[in-house]
Every structure is written in structure tokens, then in C-alpha cells.
Amino acid sequence: MKMAYHKKTSKNYTQYNCRILDEILDKIRTISVKEDISINEVINQSLQFAIDNYEEKEEVS
């Protein structure tokens, strides 16, 4: 499954600090430049894609 990035989608943001692995941030920066969108927008769209495609593990009894 591939992901397509788009220009800014929303204006309601909450500032939240988190740590990101250097190699992941490097890839995010590359996508940001290639797609001509902000780093924040890459992160938000990537997180939304992950959430939308999240499948819960089946509970083992």
C-alpha cells in the first residue's frame, strides 16, 4: 500500500513534543522537500495513514 502526501489539510493543531529517531527524521525531511510540504504535515499525514491502516492484534485466550 502506497501513501500520497498532500498540501495542508487542517488548521487545528496541538503542540506536542516527541523524540524521533535520526534516520526517520532524515527520511521525513527528504519527503518534505520532495513533496513541497512542511515537516509537520509529513508527520501528521504519516500518522493519520498509520492510524487509518492500524489493525488490532487478535487477543489470545
Higher pLDDT, 56 or 46: 46
CA distance 7 to 42: 9
pLDDT of 52 strictly over 80 = yes
Banded model confidence at residue 8, pLDDT cuts 50, 70, 90:
confident
The average pLDDT across 24-44 equals 96
Number of CB atoms found within 10 A of residue 26's CB: 11
pTM above 0.85, yes or no: no
The CA-CA-CA angle for residues 54, 55, 59, to 5°, reads 140
Task: Centre a 10 Å sphere on the Cβ of residue 41 and count the other Cβ atoms it contains.
Answer: 18
Mean pLDDT on 17-28: 97
The answer to whether 38 and 29 have CB atoms below 8 angstroms apart is no
